[in-house]
Amino acid sequence: MNLKQLSHMLSLSQTTVSRALNGYPEVNEETRRRVIDAAKRHGYRPNPSARRLATGKSGMIGYVLPTGAAVDIDPHFVEFLSGLGDYARAHELDLVLSPADADDEETTYRRIVANRQVDAVYISSPRPADKRLALVNTLGIPFIVHGRSEGFDFDYPYLDIDNEGAFHEAARLLVQLGHKRLALINGNDRETFAIHRERGVGRALAASGLTLGERHIRSVTMTEENGYRAARRLLEENEPPTAIVCSSLIMALGVVRAVRDLGLTIPGDLSLVAHDDVFPWLRPENFPVPLSTTRSSIRLAGARVAERLAARISGLEEGARGEVWPVDLVVRGSVAGAPL
Amino acid sequence: MNLKQLSHMLSLSQTTVSRALNGYPEVNEETRRRVIDAAKRHGYRPNPSARRLATGKSGMIGYVLPTGAAVDIDPHFVEFLSGLGDYARAHELDLVLSPADADDEETTYRRIVANRQVDAVYISSPRPADKRLALVNTLGIPFIVHGRSEGFDFDYPYLDIDNEGAFHEAARLLVQLGHKRLALINGNDRETFAIHRERGVGRALAASGLTLGERHIRSVTMTEENGYRAARRLLEENEPPTAIVCSSLIMALGVVRAVRDLGLTIPGDLSLVAHDDVFPWLRPENFPVPLSTTRSSIRLAGARVAERLAARISGLEEGARGEVWPVDLVVRGSVAGAPL
DNA sequence: AGAGACTTCCAAAGCGCTTTGGCTAATTTG
DNA sequence: CAAATTAGCCAAAGCGCTTTGGAAGTCTCT
């Protein structure tokens, strides 16, 4: 059932039927009702390919997926996707994943924009002065950044959590508990979120005249093994930290293992706080010692990003609105006063 | 730069240019060279929307993503996706994720097929007599199943690992080591892979006159917490198992925690083997006691599925070829002879 | 030399929608 | 009451490809 048949059936022109269905004003309400009714009865669905060709709109959102033999997709991605799906499901919005060589995403961005494959894209894990931002900005495709970048002469729409505030709170708590030697096991410090987190911890320490020395910062990709290694190196130093703030639950697993291997205890010898993106399959309250966390659901963020992308596509949202979500600090058994 | 302009430039018809570019035989090789050359020089790329409308082919593969407030996307998905991207990247093949209500995926399958949104789909985590299989089979869209189903009167193309064989081997090893009371902490037993794994363990036990009683099988979604709970319940029974086979590393984390909480040790009191899908961020050799595993890279499977989908789309692969990959049994410190 | 078979190309008709530019009849306005 | 709007509809022209159905020219064979 296509438009031609439907309009013939109604003894109307394709123009009128099309307009009736798409909510244009220049059609009699009575006629519109007839059309909509007939369309529903006959299960008419406009052919998306034809519509695409005519309008240049695809009704899909895109994501350029960096891949490569040495590249692992962040496990957080799947949670973000769940959220995105939560929104998209209800709006028949599909997501196009365009795998790209991690060393050359630009080609892929250009391709999907030139081909008009998607109406909008989102960008995740941005870095300061991230080239992708500049690119999509000049290419003129609607976009939203999940996270933040820095150092541009233009504003852009984003959704981010208050990483600095969260880690500031966490560190401040530890300082208040008497800890003087804090360490930070961070994610890749070329990404903005990691920079913000470090800044948060640094600010909290500075407020008490303390500092976060180079020695006490590890910046690694977030695997259990890297968490373990970082923790061991920190804890085997001369004056080991008495508290660690850690950027992910997965790394925290490694930290816990290292602490055990060294015959230490949490929170007796070491206080530990980690950031929790809320994985359904690994929960901080189930750690050997319930883990204190800064918590923010990445799934909710996914849903919100989808919602805002849809709004931008339909013109409901404009401009460079930045949105920063607060982060909860949830204190559990893994923190205690500094050892004497 | 579109076809019209290009053909005008070459003083050829659109027909000839189109055919030259698409490798049709009825065009002089000399002409073809000229055309291809000019196309390259001017950076001509056929408009995919137009091509889609004309041919009905989208050049994309699809996946219907079950979502819902109570539905969590399997973290394995991201690894599979990495593999898919490895192949797709090199072939400019995009992946369309169509989020669907987990209780009604059929509508979405029908939509993407009717709209010809994708040229092929893959289906994962199939169950016996899975409705999705019957559906895509009748809808006539090329597909590949990652995993296996059972109980159909038709064959279908799939890629699966030898779950039964793997768990048979694992259980056989444990039996050989003198274990008489084995338990299985499995995934959702409505999915075929879990059934196969149970079958494998059962067969190994039966070969030695042992059985895997109802009591010794837990079938749960694969979270750390569920692994912990299942292990505790098993180990707190009258005659607790001396060996556990576990369907995922994440659950194994929970098992290890439970063992510790109960004051037991691995492998002294309990031998443990788990299936490892090869996550980059959690490796069995880094468990407190290095974990014995049945190993199979889900990422490689993703790449292979993409490759086969592409082959089916282009007609290189036909029929209902099933492909079963062997699984490695990797023995590490977590298994030992049965306690006396 | 004429019939048949290739080879190589082309004009034009789709694919199914949106949108432009009217046209008619009804309504409002001075 | 004539002129100017407006409401409501339509025909036709795209969007940029692929593909059908020739047509003209070149070879081959008897």
pLDDT tens readout for residues A225-240: 999 999 999 999 999 9
Phi, psi of B100 (to 5 degrees): -135, 155
A143 and A195 in one domain?
A: no
The residues in A 303-322 lying below 8 A from B, measured between CB atoms, are none
A286 and A183 in one domain?
A: yes
CA A175/CA A210 separation, integer angstroms: 9
Whether A215 contacts chain B with CB within 8 A: no
Distance, C-alpha A336 to centroid of its chain: 31
Tell me: pLDDT of B139 over 90: yes
Evaluate whether residue A141 is within a structural domain: yes
Phi, psi of B273 (to 5 degrees): -130, 135
B285 and B191 in one domain?
A: yes
Tell me if residue B184 falls in helix, strand or coil.
strand
Range of weakest confidence among A33-37, A213-217, B215-219: A213-217
Q: Indicate the pLDDT class of residue B148, thresholds 50, 70 and 90.
A: very high
CA B84/CA B146 separation, integer angstroms: 12
Q: Which of B111, B114, B143 is nearest to B310 (CA)?
A: B143
User: Of B48, B58, B82, which is closest to A73 when you measure between CB atoms?
Assistant: B82
Contacts of B73 in chain A (CB under 8 A): 78-79, 81-82, 85
User: Of B49, B93, B282, which is closest to A49 when you measure between CB atoms?
Assistant: B49
B316 and B271 in one domain?
A: no
A255 close to A227: Cβ distance less than 8 angstroms:
yes
| B27 CB-to-strand C distance under 7 Å | yes
Query: Mean per-residue pLDDT for B313-333?
Result: 96
- Give the residue from B112, B226, B286 with the most A CB atoms within 10 Å of its CB, the best one to mutate: B286
CATH of the domain at B240: 3.40.50.2300
Strand order in the sheet with B243-246: B217-219, B182-186, B243-246, B271-276, B292-295, B328-330
- Which nucleotide's C1' atom has the smallest distance to the CA of B3? D16
User: Of B86, B257, B281, which is closest to A75 when you measure between CB atoms?
Assistant: B281
A277 and A190 in one domain?
A: yes
Residue B7 confidence (pLDDT): 95
Q: Could you give the number of structural domains in chain B?
A: 3
Dihedral-angle region of residue A209 (phi above 0 means left; psi in -120 to 50 means alpha; beta otherwise): left
Amino acid at A19: R
B289 and B192 in one domain?
A: yes
Rounded to the nearest integer, the mean pLDDT of chain B is: 96
- pLDDT digits 0-9 by tens, A268-307: 999 999 999 999 999 999 999 999 999 999 999 999 999 9
Evaluate whether residue A335 is within a structural domain: no
Contacts of A71 in chain B (CB under 8 A): 82
Strand ranges in chain A using DSSP code E only, listed in sequence order = 60-67, 94-101, 120-124, 143-146, 158-161, 182-186, 217-219, 243-246, 271-276, 292-295, 322-325, 328-330
Q: Indicate the pLDDT class of residue B214, thresholds 50, 70 and 90.
A: confident
| A331 CB-to-strand C distance under 7 Å | no
CA→C1' distance for B317 and C4 (Å) = 39
Contacts of A290 in chain B (CB under 8 A): none
Please give the share of chain B, as a percent, with pLDDT higher than 90: 98
Q: Which of B280, B296, B312 is the last residue of a domain?
A: B296
Evaluate whether residue A339 is within a structural domain: no
Tell me if residue B138 falls in helix, strand or coil.
helix
CA A248/CA A293 separation, integer angstroms: 9
A262 and A200 in one domain?
A: yes
Whether B283 contacts chain A with CB within 8 A: yes
Quickly list DSSP for A12-24: --HHHHHHHHTT-
Contacts of A246 in chain B (CB under 8 A): none
Query: Mean per-residue pLDDT for A11-31?
Result: 94
Evaluate whether residue A28 is within a structural domain: yes
B147 close to B126: Cβ distance less than 8 angstroms:
yes
Whether B95 contacts chain A with CB within 8 A: yes
| A28 CB-to-strand C distance under 7 Å | no
Whether A43 contacts chain B with CB within 8 A: no
Beta-carbon count within 10 A of A106 CB: 15
CA→C1' distance for A31 and C27 (Å) = 20
Evaluate whether residue A332 is within a structural domain: no
Distance, C-alpha A191 to centroid of its chain: 12
Residues 6+ apart with CB under 8 A from B331: B173, B292
Q: Both tokens of residue A336?
A: 């205690």
Residue A213 confidence (pLDDT): 86
Q: Indicate the pLDDT class of residue B243, thresholds 50, 70 and 90.
A: very high
Query: Mean per-residue pLDDT for B215-239?
Result: 96
Beta-carbon count within 10 A of B90 CB: 12
A315 and A285 in one domain?
A: no
B14 close to B7: Cβ distance less than 8 angstroms:
yes
Evaluate whether residue A223 is within a structural domain: yes
Contacts of A82 in chain B (CB under 8 A): 67, 71-73
Give the distance from residue B336's alpha carbon to the nearest chain A alpha carbon, in angstroms. Answer: 22
- Give the residue from A82, A223, A259, A297 with the most B CB atoms within 10 Å of its CB, the best one to mutate: A82
Q: At how many degrees (to 10) do helices A224-235 and A249-261 cross? A: 40
Tell me: pLDDT of B340 over 90: no
B255 and B107 in one domain?
A: no
CA B6/CA B2 separation, integer angstroms: 6
Evaluate whether residue B340 is within a structural domain: no
CA B203/CA B80 separation, integer angstroms: 29
A283 and A253 in one domain?
A: yes
- Give the residue from B47, B57, B79, B89 with the most A CB atoms within 10 Å of its CB, the best one to mutate: B89
- pLDDT digits 0-9 by tens, B10-64: 999 999 999 999 999 999 999 999 999 999 999 999 999 999 999 999 999 999 9
CATH of the domain at B29: 1.10.260.40
Evaluate whether residue A334 is within a structural domain: no
B86 and B38 in one domain?
A: no
Domain containing residue A144: 60-161+300-325
B276 and B311 in one domain?
A: no
